[in-house]
Structure formats: C-alpha cells, structure tokens
C-alpha cells in the first residue's frame, strides 16, 4: 500500500517551500487553492478543474456530489500518476471549501460527509497497491486545547470523532522553516523510531522523501537523511 504523510504548520511556516529541492520528474503537485509556488522552479502544479471549483450554478443538483467529485478527481490523479511522490498543497481547503459550499444546508449531515470524504481520501491512499508511492498532505495547523499545534479541522465531527493525525504513521510539524519529527510538547508530530536523525531537521521534503524510502526499503540505495538543525 502507498504511504500518506501529513505535513502541518501555520501559513508561511515553510510547508510549500519544502518542495524546492525536488526535480520536475520526481514529484507531482496538486494545489487545492493556490496555483503558484513560492520559489523559482520548473515544477508543474495542477489544480482542480474549474468546472468543479466554479461550476455553472444552474447545473448543480447537490453540493455534496460536487465536492465528492473533487475528491474523486484528486484520487484519479494520484492513482494515474507515474511519479512516485505526490503533494496535495493546502489540503485543509478541501474541508474549508466544502464547508462554505454547503453553508446553506441545515443539519449535521454535511459535517458527516466532510469527515467521511477526507477520511476516505486517506484510506484510498493507504489502499493503493503501489508500496513505493508517497502522498504528502500539506495542511494548516491550529493550536489545540492542550496548547500543542495540531492538524486544522472544521466542525465537531472531525474535531472530536476523527483525530486526523491518527490516520497517519508520519506527521511532521513545520515551523520557522524547519520540520519537527516528534511532539516535543510543541505539536502532534510523530514519526517511526530512527527514521530521522533528530527532532528538528531541515524543511527539505526531498530529503524527507529519501529518508522514508530508505527506512521502508523502497530506495535503490541508502541515501543521506535530512540533517539535524545546527545546535542539536
């Protein structure tokens, strides 16, 4: 099965910037909201089709179906991608945009749908037959009730019933252009023991990709892991 990886952090913390060291043939980038990268690069970015983002209002029979179609499009891109690393940038907007799309609907069913859609995306990745495919979700964080940074969600269904970090074996917290590999009382970050060298590493997702593949035996040869930050 493929490997979903959560990269969470505040806006401007360096999540998208961490893609900088990838080459164009090494990663596919799906942008949920923005269309440009914060650095000069030949990396290609694809966006959800306009027909799903700004559809003809007269043709819409259900915003629930429309948002399910967005997830289906993303799943198709992931499944058919020939590159082995894929990033979904600003994945929290899958939840936020559906919340606004369905703001006129009464009741709690829509929150159940939102939680189910997002959960099923992670399950879809987990169930892909390609063991060497890694999908990174670059997601905004928020401060939890315990003071730690956690994955940003919307609504009680996701907040109380579905702990998003629980769907991932690898969760990195990005702050001040560096990655935290473990909680360290600052966040809900977590990674397998000995996957990375140190609690703080460079926010270089290419090096993270190498380390994950090396750890699980997916790389042809062992390569350098991300360097610990100076002073650690």
DSSP 8-state code for residue 198: S
Model confidence pLDDT, tens digit, residues 63-99: 899 999 999 999 999 999 999 999 999 999 999 999 9
Place of tokens 């996957």: 195
How much is the pLDDT for 67? 93
Contact 152, 140 (CB under 8 A): yes
How much is the pLDDT for 87? 98
Low-confidence ranges of the chain (pLDDT < 50): 220-223
- By DSSP bridging, strand 178-180 and strand 149-151 are unpaired
How much is the pLDDT for 4? 98
Cα–Cα separations (whole angstroms), residue 19 to 88, 202, 204: 11, 12, 7
How much is the pLDDT for 1? 87
CATH class of the domain whose range is 3-215:
alpha beta
How much is the pLDDT for 225? 56
User: Which of 33, 27, 186, 5 lies closest to 98 in space, CA to CA?
Assistant: 33
Domain ranges of the chain: 3-215
Predicted model pTM:
0.91
């Amino acid at each position: 099965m493929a490997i979903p990886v959560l990269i969470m952090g505040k806006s401007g913390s360096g999540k998208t910037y961490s893609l900088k060291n990838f080459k164009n043939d090494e990663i596919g980038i799906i942008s949920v909201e923005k269309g440009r990268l914060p650095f000069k690069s030949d990396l290609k970015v694809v966006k959800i089709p306009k027909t799903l983002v700004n559809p003809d209002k007269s043709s819409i029979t259900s915003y629930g179906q429309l948002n399910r179609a967005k997830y289906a499009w993303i799943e198709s891109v992931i499944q058919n991608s020939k590159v082995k690393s894929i990033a979904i940038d600003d994945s929290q907007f899958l939840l936020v945009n559906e919340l606004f799309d369905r703001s006129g609907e009464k009741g709690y069913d829509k929150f159940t749908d939102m939680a189910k859609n997002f959960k099923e995306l992670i399950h879809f990745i987990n169930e892909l037959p390609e063991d060497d495919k890694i999908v990174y979700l670059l997601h905004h964080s928020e401060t939890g009730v315990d003071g730690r940074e956690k994955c940003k969600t919307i609504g009680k269904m996701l907040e109380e019933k579905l702990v998003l970090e629980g769907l991932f074996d690898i969760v990195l917290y990005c702050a001040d252009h560096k990655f935290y590999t473990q909680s360290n009382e600052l966040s809900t970050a977590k990674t397998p023991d000995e996957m990375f060298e140190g609690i703080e590493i460079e926010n270089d997702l290419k090096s993270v990709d190498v380390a994950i593949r090396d750890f699980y035996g997916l790389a042809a040869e062992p390569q350098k892991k991300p360097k610990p930050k100076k002073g650690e």
